[in-house]
Amino acid sequence: MPGKKITTSSGIEIRELYTRSAQPMNELPGEFPFTRGIQKDMYRGRPWTMRQYAGFSTAEESNKRYHYLLSQGTMGLSVAFDLPTQIGYDSDHELSEGEVGKVGVAIDSLKDMEALFDGIELQKITTSMTINATASTLLAMYIALAKKQGADLKQLSGTIQNDILKEYAARGTYIYPPQQSMRIITDVFEYCSTELPKWNTISISGYHIREAGSTAVQELAFTLANGKAYLKAAQEKGLDINVFAKRLSFFFNCHNNFFEEICKFRAARCMWAHITKELGATDPAAQKLRFHTQTGGSTLTAQQPMNNIVRVTSQAMAAVLGGTQSLHTNGYDEALSLPTEAAAKIALRTQQIIAFESGVTDTVDPLAGSYFVETLTTEMEQAAQLYIDKIDAMGGSVKAIEQDYIQQEIARSAYEYQSQIENGEQVLVGVNRFTEDEGKGIEVFRVDDSIRQHQIEKLNKLKKERDNDSVQRSLTALESAARGTQNLMPFILNSVENYATLGEIADAMRSVFGEY
């Protein structure tokens, strides 16, 4: 009698026993196609960057958390922005009511950026900013602050997410139509290639695709397809793939299926190496897929929240065994609120224990040669390639998004997964099995609703003190550039340095590009 059929989240069947791998592994870490890792020595050289995602309330409050995280051993900062900032509204806009400072920090102008990094030398840290539609403006603020600090912009390092395609497909914080958004992104590529050569100009994100309900294979396929679209858009702008591809990075999710996640990361490296090579990349550094990982926010449960510590540990271990370059571990309380300081500390300590106590960093790609791992890696590549081929046939990611294909595929997978939870086929400990009456709730982090008024007062003060004639001239110049073909970054930077607000800059481009 045949045994029970078991599959991964992507529907790939897991056999009872593997006695040989799908294909022999003869390649080495640090060599094309980089399945085994992008460095020859991986974590024996140095550990991944432990980058804790934080941002809430005002810039001043977030600054206190950043100083705390740096004092506890965080190696890089990762900034979360509130929803109004993400979609180009100042805190005093009517649509900002109820959202200011709630899911991230409110940044209305260069004044807020100055407060956010007060006492922190930008040249001495790496900063990741999870921002998309307004990425060019937030990067301009960061550049303006670095200039005020006297930093060498050529040495400034960090990442802006700047991945608008996944916003149309999965998340929704877009402003402009797809083609105009792609123009802004490629302008950032071009500008940074000379002005900020160490800056990662895009972090192509599978994370939010997965959070929206995709499978692991869909996350892999749709993310790489988006990556291809950005490569082609940059090439159409005349940029050299051997230069700009080195500054692309990726941002993946890590969910609960331990081996599927490890194989996803290994497959991603191999597939991206072939994609870049096919598009003309000859420099190995331009063929390497570098990625940040965050543990799965949607896997966290409000029921029995301390169980989330175990989930996050398992996911973090999978990310490390999969060869991530940097990692954020979620707080156990994030299904309930922004993480408390105590939860953030446990999340960071999770990474430090894996790095310095577990022994998994002692050798490169320790799971290589496993019949199961090698076979599943190949099967995930094959399944993802079917999606990419279909998207290519549609004309690429932008066309696939405009035709609603990617959105519908994600929605279908999300529905199927939720159905599996409700019928008990998918076990969630503490939710649909091993449940108990909830006792006293845990302490959660609260953001004061008075934050918006505080931000409005700062905006009013700024508008009284700045040179409003210079602001208007810079915004008019930005509008004119948007109507033409000039690179927009110098005009955005000039507006920022004159203390134009985020909303004013977004509105200048809205007046030309419209809203989507």
What's the pLDDT score for residue 447?
A: 66
- In tens, the pLDDT along 219-258 reads 999 999 999 999 999 999 899 999 999 989 999 999 999 9
The share of the chain scoring above pLDDT 90, in percent, equals 83
- In tens, the pLDDT along 51-82 reads 876 666 789 988 998 898 888 887 788 898 99
3-state helix, strand, coil in the chain (%, to 5): 50, 10, 40
Residue 351 has pLDDT above 60, yes or no: yes
Backbone φ/ψ region at 315: left (φ over 0), alpha (ψ -120 to 50), beta: alpha
What CA–CA distance (Å, rounded) separates 315 from 309?
10
What's the pLDDT score for residue 21?
A: 78
How many alpha carbons lie under 13 Å from residue 425 in its C-beta half-sphere? Answer: 12
Say if residue 47 is preceded by a cis peptide, omega within 30 of 0: no
Instruction: State the average pLDDT over residues 294-311.
Output: 96
Residues 6 or more apart whose Cβ sits within 8 Å of residue 103: 56, 80, 82, 83, 338
Mapped onto helix, strand or coil, the DSSP state of residue 146 is helix
Amino acid (one-letter) located at 383: A
- In tens, the pLDDT along 133-171 reads 999 999 999 999 999 999 999 999 999 999 999 999 888
Query: Cβ distance 174 to 185 under 8 Å?
Result: no
Confidence category of residue 338, pLDDT binned at 50, 70, 90: confident
Q: How far, rounded to the nearest angstrom, does the alpha carbon of residue 333 sit from its chain's CA centroid?
A: 20
Q: Is the dihedral of CA 119, 81, 132, 285 positive or negative?
A: positive
What CA–CA distance (Å, rounded) separates 300 from 272?
30
Phi, psi torsion values for 342, nearest 5 degrees = -65, -45
What CA–CA distance (Å, rounded) separates 251 from 328?
11
Give CA torsion, residues 402, 403, 405, 410, to 10 deg.
Answer: 50
Amino acid (one-letter) located at 516: Y
The share of the chain scoring above pLDDT 70, in percent, equals 97
HEC-encoded secondary structure of 38-106: CCCCHHHCCCCEEEEEECCCCHHHHHHHHHHHHHCCCCEEEEEECHHHHCCCCCCCHHHCCCCCCCCEC
Cα angle 209, 215, 218 (rounded to 5 degrees) comes to: 65
Other beta carbons within 10 Å of 11? 11
What's the pLDDT score for residue 445?
A: 63
What's the pLDDT score for residue 444?
A: 72
What's the pLDDT score for residue 24?
A: 63
What CA–CA distance (Å, rounded) separates 130 from 123?
19
Confidence category of residue 1, pLDDT binned at 50, 70, 90: very low
Q: Where are the beta strands (DSSP E) in 119-193?
A: 126-130, 157-160
